[in-house]
Amino acid sequence: MPPKKKNAKPQKSAIDKDFRLQAVILADSYQARFQPLTKDYPRCLLPLANTPLLEYTFEFLAKAGVCEVFLMCCSHADKIEEYIKTSKWSDSHSPFEIHTKKLTESMSVGDAMRDLDGTGSITSDFLLVSGDVVSNIDFTPVLEQHLQRKQDDKNAMMTMVLRQADAFHRTRSRIEPGLFVLNDKTSECLRYEELSLNNPTGSIDLDGELLNDDATLSIRNDLIDCHIDLCSIDVLAQFTENFDYSTLRSDFVKNILTSEILGKKIYAHIVTDAYAARVRSLQTYSAVTKDIVSRYSYPVVPDSNLMDDQTFSYQMGHIYKEKGVVLAQSCVIGSRSLVGRGTSVGERSMVKDTVIGRDCKISTNVNLVDSFIWSNVIIEDDVTVNGGLVADGAILKKGCSVGPGSIIGHGVTVEEGQKIEGTYLVLDAGESIPFDAIDDDDSDFDTDDEFNANVGSLVYNLKELNLSDTSINDHCYEDDENIRAVAPKKKTRRRLSSTVSNVSDNHEDEFQKEAIASLDRAFQDNHEIDIAALELGTLRMSSNVPYEEVRAASVKAINGYITRVLNMGVTDDHKVPTQKVWGKWAELFEKQVFEPADQIDLLNILLKDCSRRPVGNYILFAAVQSLYDADVLDEHVIVRWWHQQPEDVSPEIASVRTLLGKWVTWLEEAESESEEEDESD
Amino acid sequence: MSSQNRGDREIDIFVEQFISQLKRRQLSGSHAVALATAQLLLRFVSAARWNHIDSLVKDIRALGVRLVQTAPKEIACRNIVSRVLTLIREEQHGHKAENGGLSGSMLGLLEKNDKKEEVLDKAALRQANRDIRPYIIEGIQDLIDEVANIEENIAKMSVDEIHDNQIILTPTPASETVLLFLLKAARKRNFTVLVTEGFPNQIDAAHNMVEKLTKAGVEAIIIPDAAVYAVMSKVGRVIMGTSTVLANGGCLSSAGSALVCATATQHSTPVVVLTAIYKLSPVYPFDVPSMIEIGSSAQVADYSDSEIVEGFQVFNPLADYVPPEDIQIYNTNIGEFSPAFIYRIVLDHYSDAGNL
Amino acid sequence: MSELTPAQLKAQKKAAKAAKRAASKEASGQAPTRDPREAKKEQQQAAAKEGGSSSNTGNNSNNTQGGSNQSSASASSKEDRTRASRPALFGHLEKAGKVTAADAGKDVHPEVITLALRYSSYQIVGSSDRARTLLQAFQRVIADYETPEGTTLSRNLTTHLGHQIDFVISARPLSVSMGNAIRWLKQEISVVSIDMSDQAAKDMLVEKIDEYIKEKIDVSGSVIVESAVNDIADGDTVLTFAHSEVVENTFIAAHQAGKRFKIIVVDSRPLHEGRKLARDLSARGIECIYILVSALAHVLDDVSRVFLGAHAMLSNGALLSRVGSALIATAAKRKNIPVIVLCESMKFSDRVQLDSVTLNELAFPEMLANTYISDKKKLPEDKAKTSLKYLNLCYDLTPAANLTKIITELGHLPPSAVPVIMREYKSAYTM
């Protein structure tokens, strides 16, 4: 992309004079990353540098010249509507008209898109953003290029706006970071993969046919996906046609790109000299706040006073203060800090790298470093907050300390002298209790550690974290009984038939129970594989769970059955029964395993499960061998998985895989021998 | 400013849009802002309805206060509002300022303008109000012409200061005034121009200026900002533009100008500032840092480099304050003045009525 | 200088011819005014440091003592092609040449070729670093050297080294530190006893070079650092410009000593050396602020002192350093902020210079055509921009009045003490 802003020759603009740009804001992300801060309040109205997130989105749209906005809300839609009615965006001089749509029954982005398609309000290419985007891009050239491409090629369906960064940039979402395969010359996006913390291999598979063209491909793992998409109306139609599309990227984009029949194209516009980011999680919340305070997003900065009643002024050192801030003589406001109106800071207090909202009362000798303090917070003497987030109305009593990664929820009181470290406190029935992610079904996090990683990422410090993909995965290897810990990121928790907007996870547990029960019946009654598979399949579809769940349940069922058989102790020999069971039921997995990633997942599930069972090593070996014989697992996948196993694992896992190791070695040698024999492969 | 206070009239919509543009920096630079403000005030006055001229003055003043709050660093905006208020006052009192000169302003210092209103009786007042509007509008039109026509302003400026075979240095490549001035001088003289890059905010303007000068046959060379001291011994004149001239004779100009002028002073090289009267401001620089806008850090350090973003702080000021002792002369469309005399010109064009 | 300007302006229209005319004019114009001994010294000095008041072609013919004629011819033809973007105004200044390995004569050692190319592409910058790497390369040259039949080591080695030096100069003019080092080395070679065997002599020379590097660069640097650390107090805001090895080490030492201070790194185009410094310091946990030169006026209010590195200290107490240092020093002095120069004694020169344009080095103008700030991006082939004229000076001169003091390994000195030091320790520098 040429950096120069000068145009060589004036070209006929691809934008028609009468073109009215419409925009769709997805106010609800249908994820629960900000729970329970968002229990009572919509996520898009959370304050970022003392301004609600939605305001940044509106500013971006206003700058882009949007004429009409459709705001798709789900949770707390009433509050959003109320907010918009009283804001300046509803005035007659607002640059666009806002239509708020309350979709209380929707459960995914896909639902919202389908609804939109149903109403027919979108008439041409539109801008699709989420309610938490912060950007200063000049959008006109992006729009022009998009429309130009559409003129040249009718199949150009969407343009994604991505910001160049690097792989471990703080503003790049660490939860499901996207990997894009792009054609350098045409900017076409050829593949999209979502990397997850659970992907132990650190590699992806690509079709060879991608390399057929003469094009130069680049595989980009250094882009910030700000979820700013310019879509044509075809996009809506696609969502309607495929009603199981829920998410924009992992469902829609991924499938469009891999579908051969469809032939639609998605393009990527990489921004190198402007700012664009999305606040998806607490980690990005922290990062984007820092970016704004450090003026990387100019002119979207606090002292532009984008909201009418703001009165920020700037001071050297990236310090922002509103009018009406009362500072004691000896208090120090350090660099990269922001203090809202009506806040008072007492003697000898130190504020550094911290954002403080309005009407807070901060007493003497308080230390606030690297933190986020929202409005109406009372902080008494001698308190230290280091790397924490304190939400509205909280009270921190004398002498307490809030350590890195802590979140003090709305209205919570931290008692005198209490030390909070890395926990998340919420107000529940008048009491302040820790928020346990695993028990609460609203959580989106697979493990305690991932949750902590998310919260703790408020103060994410690159240097302290080991950077390899496999070591991140190790966090997830720390086990709990819940097999879900091993299942990869995709969790479709919303059922189409559910009428509750805040859904629970119950049906997944139910599925597990029912599946295991069904398989147990099959084992005992010695059903045919096909029948058992059919039953399992039906169960899966009715519960609408992903295949990971099915695999997990199957493994558990089979191994459970074997363990019971061995315990019954008919013979001392464990080999024969194991071989028999696995030999018969390995084919069950044929309908559950499709891609190499699935195979790897299955292997991981097996490893995990067997490590907890008696004679686990033999069971594991028998299982893998049977699956290999049944052509469910491929040689090269097994070998690759084996070699990518980390060295330092728990002793159970280490011991259980020794036997398998020998077999894999044998397999490798056999493989190489057969390769030598064959001339062609 | 809550939404209840804003009316739904068309003019209010226009005002709100203008304010939004200022906030989003879609409107920036003293020339563009001055022009837009003047046009806004023209519409405002045309659309306004008043019984007494004072209510118009009050409204314009309120608007001015709002504009200053929105963009406190765009002093051109404030200047234009003050000019308009001044001219309204002048029209109102029937060209008293024409008698002006020293005595006029002396009286003005002693008298309080508000009290003067009560002296006129109602009939004369109504008469005055009805007649004034076209004059005010004409006055604002003149102001717009003054701002818009740089060419004409330059034509009045003297180019005698440039000698043949001199080397001129300009630290403000974005200034249209300087470019046109040099092109005009090029018709009569043969000289070389050194243009500082003004990285990062003006690098494009620098390239643009050099291209245009080269096309006109002037030898133009780009030098990095750091090289200014090194070349100063060869430089005969420093010619620069400005965004605002302050009441003490100092001025606000693009980032890096302060250093250039300090260097010029050390080498006893004269600094000539080209400006137009609408850039003169009655503001006194009590707190210099509050007048300087800090721009995007991403233009100084690469945002995509996480080491940089997390490692160190970056600043990118967009303007510099040049103190009056570093400037030799202000060359304007109505004549040449030394910095010490600027306050006088300010008094000529602004009255107390223009205070916001 | 001004009387040359019209002449050179005319010459610009007939590029190559004018260059030669100017060159011969300068060369003949200068020679009669100097003592023959002085002239020879002048030539050697001109070889040793950047800038002679003749064009590149002239310089090459002055310094070459046989050999490398082909390198000068090809260098000058390359010169003409790149000359288009260089303004005639500074046409008298030394220029960097675009050399390739193919331009080297057969005598040039591969180590030296690699090194020269690295100098030319600004991969190795900084006078301490360049002197150190040059000497290290010479160690290898000496180790691989074989005295040919019919001559002695002490006579022939100098000539051999001369060929190496010529190639290095054609890539980029020498720094003062390099010049001093070379002079010292030639002195050492000339006093090698006839009785000593070649191998012993070579070993001795290599060892002496080690000692020189250690004493004059490394240990001197450490002594300076130790001393300069005391000048940083708790709570200070220290300003520095570009990247100087000694200054960086001072900051690191002060940080390790537990002092709490802030650093403001001022950077300039096109080399952006300050960015490297800011990265290194941030990585060590020192709080850094990074600005470009144009933002300087904005930060000076809070600065307690300014630390500058040096390319050379001249005999009249003036500082020759990366272009932009003079600006910093002037601005700081105006606000009564002490300007402290950290400079090893091996960078002292007995030259006197009154302004930055008498003698200087011009780097490639294309470096300024690139306006990317990212380290990762490649230079685009943008022809429109390279048709503009750029002035890419390497150094500038800060008069002694703008400096507060100099810290060398011999102690803290006022700028005016430089000629005294040079006289006292003259034996180390003269031939």
Same domain assignment for residues C321 and C413: yes
Q: pLDDT value at position B170?
A: 96
Contacts of A4 in chain C (CB under 8 A): 371, 382
Task: Read off the pLDDT of residues C7-36 as tens digits, 9 standing for 90 and up.
Answer: 555 555 555 555 555 555 554 444 333 344
Using CA atoms, how far apart are residues B242 and B339, in angstroms rounded to an integer?
13
The DSSP letter of residue C393 is B
Residue C121 sits in the same domain as residue C208: yes
Whether the model clears a pTM of 0.90, i.e. scores above it, the answer is no
Interface of C with A in 358-377 (CB under 8 A): 371-372, 374
Alpha carbon distance A294, A288 (integer Å): 10
Q: CA dihedral in degrees (C22, C24, C25, C28; nearest 10)?
A: 160
Q: Within a domain: residue C109? A: yes
Which among B207, B233, B258 is the nearest to C357, CB-wise? B233
* Residues of B contacting chain A (CB within 8 angstroms): 1-3, 6, 8, 12-14, 16-17, 20, 23-26, 69-70, 72, 204, 208, 289-290, 294-299, 303-306, 309-310, 313-316
Tell me the chain B residues in contact with residue C388 when contact means C-beta distances shorter than 8 Å.
207, 210-211, 214, 220, 222
d(CA B29, nearest CA chain C) in Å: 18
pLDDT of C425 > 90? The answer is no
ipTM: 0.86
- Spatial neighbors of A283 by CB under 8 A, at least 6 apart, are A170, A173, A174, A175, A454, A457, A458, A460
What single-letter DSSP state applies at residue B317?
Answer: B
Q: Are B132 and B53 in contact (CB under 8 A)?
A: yes
- The most confident of the ranges A475-479, B83-87, C221-225 is C221-225
Q: Kindly report the nearest CA distance between residue A130 and chain C, in angstroms.
A: 29
pLDDT of amino acid C15? 59
φ/ψ of residue C408, rounded to 5: -120, 180
Question: What number is the average pLDDT over the span C130-149?
Answer: 91
Q: Which residues contact A651 (CB under 8 A, 6 or more apart)?
A: none
Between C87, C373, C398, which is nearest B302 by CB? Answer: C373
Cβ-defined contact of C294 to B255 (cutoff 8 Å): yes
Residue C9 maps to a domain:
no
Give the residue carrying structure tokens 């119950």. Answer: A506
C236 and C216 co-located in one domain:
no
Q: Are strands A361-362 and A344-345 parallel, antiparallel or unpaired?
A: parallel
In C242-301, the residues whose Cβ lies within 8 Å of chain A are: 298-299
Pairing, β C312-313 against β C319-322: antiparallel
Distance from CA of C261 to the nearest CA of A (A): 14
Q: Which residues of chain A neighbour C372 with C-beta distances below 8 Å?
A: 3
Question: Average pLDDT in the A315-330 region?
Answer: 93
pLDDT of residue A120: 87
SS3 B76: helix
**Domain, as residue range, for C404:** 232-356+393-429
B297 to chain C, closest Cα gap in Å: 9
Exposure string for A270-287, b = 16+ CB within 10 A, e = fewer: bbbbbbbbbbbbbbbbbb
Give the whole-angstrom CA distance, residue A258 versus residue C246: 57
CATH architecture of the domain with range B149-348: 3-Layer(aba) Sandwich (3.40)
Average pLDDT, chain C: 79
Give the chain A residue whose CA is nearest to the CA of C371: A3
pLDDT at A455 exceeding the cut of 60: no
CATH code, domain carrying C161: 1.20.120.420
Bridge partners, C307 (sequence order)? C240, C340
Q: How confident is the model at residue C103 (pLDDT cuts 50, 70, 90)?
A: confident
Yes or no, beta carbons of B234 and C330 under 8 Å apart: no
Nearest by Cα to A450 from A413, A503, A491: A491
Residue in the structure block whose two tokens are 């060295």:
A647
Within an 8 Å CB–CB cutoff, is residue C371 touching chain B?
yes
Q: What domains sit in chain A, N to C, each tagged with a CATH number?
A: 22-201+210-282 (3.90.550.10), 311-441+448-486 (2.160.10.10), 502-680 (1.25.40.180)
Shared-domain flag, residues C216 and C284: no
Angle, helix A529-543 to helix A575-585, in steps of 10 degrees: 70
Burial A202-227 (b: 16+ CB within 10 A, else e): eebeeeeeeeeeeeeeeebebbbbbb
Q: How many CB atoms lie within 10 A of CB A136?
A: 22
* C301 in the same domain as C169: no
Q: Give percent of chain B above pLDDT 90.
A: 47
Per the omega criterion (within 30 degrees of 0), is the bond before C270 cis?
yes
Mean pLDDT comparison of A501-505, A626-630, B122-126, highest-scoring range: A626-630
Instruction: Tell me the residue type at A19.
Output: F
d(CA B67, nearest CA chain A) in Å: 12
CA dist B136 and B47 (Å) reads: 13
Mean per-residue pLDDT, A216-241: 89
- Residues A507-565: pLDDT tens digits? 677 788 888 888 888 888 888 888 888 888 888 888 888 888 888 888 888 888 888 88
Residue C191 lies in a domain: yes
| DSSP element (H, E) containing B191 | none
| Boundary residue ending a domain (C220, C246, C264) | C220
Instruction: Indicate the residue type of A647.
Output: E
Judge if C126 and C166 occupy the same domain.
yes
Q: Residue C265 CB: number of other CB atoms within 10 A?
A: 25
The answer as to whether C197 is a domain residue is: yes
Q: Is position C253 within any domain?
A: yes
**Option in B222, B289, B315 nearest C390 (CB):** B222
From A135's Cα to the closest Cα of chain C, the distance in A is 20
Answer for the pair A313, A303: CB distance below 8 angstroms, yes or no.
yes
Per the CB < 8 Å rule, is B298 touching A86? no
pLDDT, one tens digit per residue, over C42-69 is 444 444 443 333 333 333 333 333 333 3
Average pLDDT, chain A: 80
pLDDT for res C297: 92
Same domain, C305 and C422: yes
The pLDDT value recorded for residue A200 is 61
Per CB-CB distance under 8 Å, the chain A contacts of B27 are none
With CA atoms as reference, the chain B residue closest to A271 would be B304
C70 inside domain = no
Chain A hits for C374, CB-CB cut-off 8 Å, are 272
Establish, for the pair of chains A and C, how many residue pairs have beta carbons separated by less than 8 Å: 9
d(CA B311, nearest CA chain A) in Å? 10
**Residues contacting residue C321 through CB under 8 Å, at least 6 positions apart:** C241, C308, C309, C310, C311, C312, C341, C395, C396, C398
The predicted model gives C118-132 an average pLDDT of: 91
Q: Is the pLDDT of residue A505 over 90?
A: no
Q: Are residues C198 and C237 in the same domain?
A: no
Q: By the 8 A CB rule, do B76 and B82 touch?
A: no
Question: Is residue A580 classed exposed, middle or buried when 0-12, 13-18 and 19+ CB atoms within 10 A define those classes?
Answer: middle
Q: How confident is the model at residue C368 (pLDDT cuts 50, 70, 90)?
A: confident
Looking at residue C220, what is its pLDDT? 93
Tokens of C133: 């790497």
> In C, which residues are within 8 Å of B311 by CB distance?
278-279, 282-283, 288
Q: Which other chains touch chain A, taking contact as 3+ CB pairs less than 8 Å apart?
A: B, C
Give the pLDDT confidence of A53-69 residue by residue, as tens digits.
999 999 999 999 899 99
In this structure, of A26-35, A457-466, B182-191, the range with the lowest mean pLDDT score is A457-466
Task: Locate the domains of chain B by residue range.
Answer: 149-348
**In this structure, are C252 and C342 located in the same domain?**
yes
* Spatial distance between the Cα atoms of A497 and A53, rounded to a whole number of angstroms: 31
Those chains having 3 or more beta-carbon pairs within 8 angstroms of chain C are A, B
pLDDT at position C338 is 96
Residues C262 and C401 in one domain: yes
Among residues C220, C243, C272, which one ends one of the domains?
A: C220
Q: Which helix (H) or strand (E) holds B78?
A: helix B75-92
Domain holding C293: CATH number? 3.40.50.10470
Contact across the interface for B3 and A91, Cβ inside 8 Å: yes
Q: Is residue C414 part of a domain?
A: yes
**Bridge partners, residue B31, by sequence:** none
B280: phi then psi, degrees, rounded to nearest 5: -70, 140
- Looking at residues B219-236, what average pLDDT do you find? 92
Asked if B309 and A295 come within 8 Å (Cβ–Cβ), the reply is: no
Same structural domain, C202 and C287: no
Residue B306 has its nearest CB partner, among A6, A87, A168, at A168
Decide if A316 and C380 are in contact by the 8 Å CB cutoff.
no
Q: Domain count for chain C, please give it.
A: 2
pLDDT(A308) > 50: yes
pLDDT digit string (tens) for A325-384?
Answer: 999 999 999 999 999 999 999 999 999 999 999 999 999 999 999 999 999 999 999 999
Q: Are residues C313 and C409 in the same domain?
A: yes
Dist. CA B267–CA C375, nearest whole Å: 36
Which of the residues A93, A139, A310, A457 would you substitute to probe the B interface, choosing the one with the greatest number of B C-beta atoms within 10 Å? A93
pLDDT of residue C386: 62
Lowest mean pLDDT among A254-258, A424-428, C6-10: C6-10
